[in-house]
Amino acid sequence: MQLVTGALNGLFAIVSTVLMLTLLAWVSRRVMGAPVGWLRAGLVALASITGASAALTAGMRQAGWSRADGTLAVSPGVALVVIALAFAWAFVLGLCVLLVLELLVPTGSLPTPWRAWRGLRQRRRESQRYAQVVAIGVRHGLGGLLGRGARGPDGARLAGTDVSRLAARLRDTLSDAGVTFVKFGQVLSARRDLLPDTVTDALATLQSEVPPAPWSVVEPAVTGALGRPVGEVFARFDPVPIASASVGQVHAARLHDGREVVVKVQRPGAREQVEVDLAILARLARRLERDTAWGRGLGVVALADGFAASLREELDYTVEAENTRALRAVLAPTGADDDPRVTVPEVVDGPSGRTLLVLERLDGVPVGRADGALRHLDAGARARIADRLLRATLRQVLVAGTFHADLHPGNVLVTPDGEIGLLDMGSVGRLGEPERVALGALLLAIDGDDAIAATDALLELLDAPAGLDVRALEREVGTLVLRFRAGAGGAAGFVALTRLVTGSGIAVPPQVAAAFRTFAALEGTLRHLCPGYEMVGAMRREGEPLVAGAVTTEGLRRRATRQLAAFAPELERLPRRVTRIVSDLEQGRFTVAVRAFSDPGDRAFLTGLVQQVVSTLVAVAAVVAGALLLVADGGPALADDLPLFTVLGAALAFVGTVLAVRVLVFAFRGPPGHR
């Protein structure tokens, strides 16, 4: 029986201690007004209770208020006051400790033990991969680029190495680092606005040649994505892929209804490997931007973040399926005389999902390997095919606003009858109506040799900074317009335009930059189709009807009608309001009422500021009053050596210190709604 009673008493003590610690931790979080972690709040509460208990026991024995047998030598009321003050000040000291911890190591900056344990294997894998990538760079002679103060590929010499040799070393490093870094190099090769031509030309030769995964590895991935055996969905499935890329491979197949399709399946483990490589790329980018001047100049962190977002989209085939449907709708013929003969494959919805995409199979070969298919065509026929592709691209960008953003020669297919098909819709850009109108106005201004109109269109299209020298920008745009008018623009003209606006401090929205890069990449594809093709002249010829159709008098009238319809209720009330204003002016009753802080955010800011000022004043007053009472002589006493003023002073100082902690939390971390 005694054993059971002892066990129950022990259990009661444990439960009561846990409840007391939880309550104290909750009160600490509420008083702090900050998202303090439960673990650190509980540990600090435990330390506070333990320290207060030990100090209280020793202090009461030393003062003679408790006897050796544990009984009290003072009245219970006095003992209760002393105990309350002791634990209150232990609580205050715990708050101060929490405040210091939050300032030095904010909650969330360190992983929880469980999260740290789960991420240990991942971090070990990332660290090994990071060391491997850095070692590859050092082996290829890029160690100087990773040191503090390195100048980078800016056209000057770096540690005795010329830019062409540096570009080759960068290309070899990215090639050996794996498919994710190869794709990053391919993205960088399109950024001629940031990198010298020597570097971008070297990176453009990067090829993501990946050996296909064997069918024994791919079949479980296909079956898992379908949720049933392959034979239930496909009448035939070729286990040998017709194409292989970094994160997926493509197989030919036939549906049970007889349709020939291609199946794009994600490689097993591709997502995990890409995530590891993206984490390594982010670490490298942060290091380069922190330690090197060239990294800060290029904004490598922003480049890496944009690339990571794009690559993660490519890992979700539902995004590509949606993009494919959108482009198919854009390029669908709208009439008997409208046949762009640019085909986008149809998505087979049933079996398609996040890791598997089934598309209609298009006959033909990619433009990059179509020399044999195009050799029998004369120059006129090849120029008409190039015109067709350019017209379809302009239609996507200027009319529909949804466009294929990666029109390199591998993503454009030439069919045996001379038609064109588009592949790999993983990267699609979108432009709103204002951007499309401004881009069309820019093309019309270039065609009309109007530098002022071109500058106005650029300012409408982009985000101009305050204090921009518009006259200087007009002169530079005028020089570029002459280059375009002379037919010497092409990809170099778009690159020069991008460098011009970025050099002037103008921010280029991502989708606008994607449209510029689309035309820059398109030129290489067009010249594969038709050597010597002049893209700028063809853009003026093919784009003028599209732009003119978008800005016709009828179109402007319809747009104005829609806007006026939205304002119709206000227009109906306008005469009555004007009459009232005129009447008030005549009779001297016209007044203007201004509601200060009408915005909820402004009111919340002012309210919070007033609350903090009041809290600060109250905290200072309480601490000062408490200090005065603590040092005051005389007055009534609760017990021997325990004046009443001392108790009141300690209580006031406690209140003031708690308020001061809240004020300091606000000062260093901001109000709760702004963290």
Give the C-alpha distances (Å, rounded to integers) separating 260 from 99, 255, 591: 67, 7, 76
Distance CA 392, CA 338 (A): 11
What is the C-alpha radius of gyration for the chain, rounded to an integer number of angstroms? Answer: 36
Q: Which residue has the tokens 């960008």?
A: 397
pLDDT of residue 103: 67
Q: Is the pTM of this model over 0.75?
A: no
The one-letter amino acid code at 183 reads K
The one-letter amino acid code at 598 reads S
Give the residue with greater pLDDT, 69 vs 611.
611
Please identify every residue annotated as catalytic.
Answer: 406
Kindly tell me if the per-residue pLDDT of 317 is higher than 80: yes
Give the C-alpha distances (Å, rounded to integers) separating 417 from 315, 363, 374, 409: 33, 10, 10, 18
Distance CA 205, CA 189 (A): 9
Of the candidates 506, 500, 505, the one whose C-alpha atom is nearest the C-alpha of residue 483 is 500
Q: Is the torsion defined by CA of 319, 325, 329, 333 positive or negative? A: positive
Of the candidates 326, 313, 318, 319, the one whose C-alpha atom is nearest the C-alpha of residue 353 is 318
Quick check: 310 and 304 in contact, CB under 8 A? Answer: no
CA atoms within 13 A on the CB side of 382: 21
- For 438, residues 6+ apart whose C-beta sits below 8 A from its C-beta are 457, 458, 460, 461
Q: What is the pLDDT of residues 247-302, one digit of tens each?
A: 788 999 999 999 999 999 988 877 887 888 888 888 888 887 887 776 776 677 87
Give the residue with greater pLDDT, 321 vs 546.
321
- For 520, residues 6+ apart whose C-beta sits below 8 A from its C-beta are 190, 192, 491, 494, 495
φ, ψ dihedrals at 351, nearest 5° = -80, -10
- For 267, residues 6+ apart whose C-beta sits below 8 A from its C-beta are 213, 218, 221, 247, 248, 249
Mean pLDDT of 625-648: 75
Give the residue with greater pLDDT, 522 vs 121.
522
Q: For the chain, what percent of residues have pLDDT higher than 70?
A: 73
pLDDT of residue 191: 64
pLDDT of residue 658: 78
pLDDT of residue 259: 92
Kindly tell me if the per-residue pLDDT of 158 is higher than 50: no
Strand 402-404 relative to strand 365-366, pairing: unpaired
Instruction: Give the rounded distance of the alpha carbon of 284 from its chain centre.
Output: 17
Distance CA 655, CA 665 (A): 16
Quick check: 166 and 294 in contact, CB under 8 A? Answer: no
Q: Which helix (H) or strand (E) holds 392?
A: helix 379-394
Give the residue with greater pLDDT, 125 vs 323.
323
pLDDT, mean over the chain: 76
Kindly tell me if the per-residue pLDDT of 335 is higher than 70: no
